Chain A
Amino acid sequence: MGAAVTLALQPVADPAAPLARRNPVAKVGAALLFSLPLISTLDPLTPALALLVELLLLPFFGVRLGVLARRAAPLMPAAAGILVTMVLFAAERDGALLVSLGSIDVTTGVLATAGALILRVFAVALPGIVVFATTDPTDLADALVQNAKAPARFAIGALAAFRLVPLLGEEWRSLSLARRARGIDAGRNPVAKMRLFGSTAFALLVGALRRGVRLAVAMDARGFDSDVPRTHARRQHFTLPDAILLAVALLTAIAIIATSVALDVFRPVTG
């Protein structure tokens, strides 16, 4: 768990790529401005176009396709879940009948709806994945404080807590082993498994809280709670290219939606 967490949190892209270099706040903002409008429609074309744009932009973020695929892997179970749910429970079953599994008719209409939903999940999630793959958490916290005027207490505090996350993995392993050493195992009993999981999770939580309190005291001892205005050792600059990135992200999203409206496939969520 520890290694996996570390892997998912560290930036893995070429830091010199033109878009990876942009201000972290601009990148996060652009990801939001680009992906949020996509939620407004249920048609498959809009997310398909968005995905196309996202994949075309990958090289400019210095993210290789393989890296992206690994990071996006956790979305696969969600996609599979959508497919199964739609096949089993979709109310509308129009279009041509493909297969009939007992009382369940799998039609082209059902598959099209499921496909559109799956495309949406990927189209909305990928910008976020790309941004975090190309952004150092320290830079993001700095930019949030310096460019987005977020309170340092929140941004730097979250960053410090973040550093402790990989420790939780090791702690979980120790706690589980210690329980086995005490003669506690669940065997094949699912209820016992749940209880064991619960008690281990509780112990983990207690440990994490204690550690969090100690960290907070140590931070305050170094003046984190002082009234003096904080200075910034590392400068983050929000420049014209960053503003352009934000504007282009929003305009591209609008253009994609305009295309699907023009082609008369736009299906607003509230329709």
Chain B
Amino acid sequence: MSDVRLRGFGWRHSGRRAWAVRGLDLEIRHGERVLLLGPSGAGKSTLLAAIAGLLPEDSGESEGTIAIDGLDPRKARDRVGILFQDPQTQLVMARSGDDVAFGLENRGVPASEIWPRVSDVLDRVGFPYQMNRPTSALSGGEAQRLALAGVLALRPGLLLLDEPTANLDPPGAELIREAVARATGPDTTLIIVEHRVAEALPLVDRVVVLEPGGGVRADGSPDVIFAAYGDKLADEGVWVPGFHASPLKATSQPTADLVRTERAAVSGRLDPVTISVGGGEVLAVTGPNGTGKSTLALLLGGLLAPTSGRVEAFGDRRPPHRWRAATLTGRIGSVFQNPEHQFVTSRVADELALGPRRLGRSPAEVTRVVDELLERLRLTRLAGANPYTLSGGEARRLSVATALATAPRLLVLDEPTFGQDRRTWRELVDLLAALRSEGHGVLAVTHDDAFVRTLADRTVPLGAPRPDPLPRRLRP
């Protein structure tokens, strides 16, 4: 049981001109369960880090006060647990049980009490394996569930969840929400930052909307908040519940195949697949994790050689993976799941100019393409920024723009809408629909049902569905 009081709280990271959060007055009482909302850039994650006592005093400037049970958050750290996005950077140990024990060791819990507590909390979050299960053998959802167990083992009075499902596929996200619901009782105060609002709502009884630029815009029960502010929040990119996008399907028949596979497979990663993508159509590849969706995207993107079967494209005698890189980018544009992997320069504009330059386009032509793309993807304001400093949505738009810069007829995207706010989502969908009507072929690997429903002309499901997402842990 913990309460949180903020009085005029503000925080500015060193070296930044703008305040991440400012003028925040907020009171959260024992056992309340709060969803923290706001457009991206409203400082939600910074606020959670401040409440968790994880902002070192010398890392920025603060104003106002923040208190956990009347204490400075840096002194109340043993009352607060926080779960972050990425399970890979939260797990410490090689074996699952050891990882949960790690926090208990740090807090000086006597050795005799550690293992019963570990076993107990693993049961509570529904961890399905033995304690000696290697953490490297866990799926994303399982690993995040283990990370949650590691946090809950410390019995925090206040639990903070910072977009805990953002890096997970839908079944993995479901595992985490289930585990949170099972494992937190009425005596745990809960604060969640989560942009999949509809899914998070069953876990909360209060919604607080932060105003970008400072203060609280709205605060109350979910029904009241979404009735009053739903449309405005939706415009700002928040995934408010009850979202429906009208389908955008191809209006004409696809042209001849741009790329075709014939029983192409990669041993150990992808079973034989025969598919084709024509100009003017959007093909969605769906299916659970581990069925080789991303591998298929690499095959079609000319980035990987099949170990059996064939891939042919653009009537070329050579398979795409044998093409020179410059030839490849002129024909097929690939957009990776992690946008940052694709950035190779230190300015947004250079990033866009790179492809056309390598194809030997004239400087005037390069400038025209760059300006047009900056405009089309709302990046003009950021032309001089370093790509690594962009927000998630901006980085995604830039990674798509870089693939478009060489005007390839075929676009291969891996989870293009993953973790995007509603506004970026809408823009991506509209952009891909426009590209389709210009005759481009699009293949998207995706978990996003709304994306498939709205845009896909054809869907290719890979693999078999996974068994029960919530198996019980076997007792040794």
Contact = CB atoms under 8 A, between A and B. Distances in A.
Contacts, number: 155
A198 to B, nearest CB: 12
A134 B114 CA distance: 27
Interface stretch (B12-20, B78-86, B371-379): B78-86
Contact of B78 (A6, A171, A215, A223): A223
A230 B154 CA distance: 14
Given A218-B84, A226-B107, A184 B92 contact: no
Contacts of B242: none
A64 interface: no
Contacts of B136: 6, 163, 166
B443 to A, nearest CB: 14
Interface stretch (A46-54, A100-108, A110-118, A175-183): A175-183
A234 interface: yes
What bracket does the count of chain B residues touching chain A fall in? 35 or more
B95 to A, nearest CB: 7
A228 B93 contact: no
Given A177-B304, A223-B77, A223-B78, A228 B108 contact: yes
Interface in A139-162: 156, 159-160
Interface string A221-238: 111101011111111000
A235 B111 contact: yes
A223 B154 contact: yes
Interface stretch (B197-205, B222-230, B336-344, B432-440): B336-344
B315 interface: no
Interface stretch (B97-105, B259-267, B417-425, B446-454): B97-105
A163 B91 contact: yes
Contacts of B151: 221-222
Given A175-B341, A217-B54, A233-B98, A183 B358 contact: yes
Contact of B344 (A138, A179, A207): A179
B89 A184 contact: no
Interface in A203-248: 203, 206-207, 211, 214-215, 217-224, 226, 228-235
A167 interface: yes
B106 A223 contact: yes
Contact of A206 (B91, B108, B388): B388
Contacts of A217: 54, 84
B382 interface: no
Contact of A218 (B90, B301, B406): B90
Given A178-B341, A226-B77, A231 B111 contact: yes
What bracket does the count of chain A residues touching chain B fall in? 35 or more
A187 interface: yes
A221 B111 CA distance: 21
Given A174-B336, A184-B344, A222-B154, A232 B111 contact: yes
Contact of B105 (A6, A215, A218, A231): A231
Contacts of B86: 214
B334 A181 contact: yes
Given A167-B88, A230-B105, A233-B101, A181 B111 contact: no
Interface stretch (B169-177, B284-292, B324-332, B462-470): B324-332
A252 interface: no
A94 interface: no
Interface in B107-154: 107-111, 114-115, 118, 135-136, 147, 150-151, 154
B354 A182 contact: yes
A199 B346 CA distance: 12
Interface string B151-168: 100100000000000000
B82 A221 contact: yes
Nearest to A6: B136
A231 B110 contact: yes
Given A178-B342, A214-B84, A220-B54, A226 B94 contact: no
B441 interface: no
B93 A159 contact: yes
A183 B106 contact: no
B108 A230 contact: yes
For the complex of A and B, 9 pairs with smallest distance between CB atoms: A183-B329, A223-B106, A185-B325, A222-B103, A233-B101, A228-B108, A181-B334, A214-B89, A218-B90
26 contacts: A159-B92, A164-B88, A181-B403, A182-B329, A184-B325, A184-B358, A185-B326, A203-B343, A215-B89, A217-B54, A218-B147, A219-B102, A221-B54, A221-B77, A221-B81, A222-B81, A222-B150, A222-B151, A222-B154, A223-B77, A228-B108, A229-B108, A231-B108, A231-B110, A233-B111, A234-B101
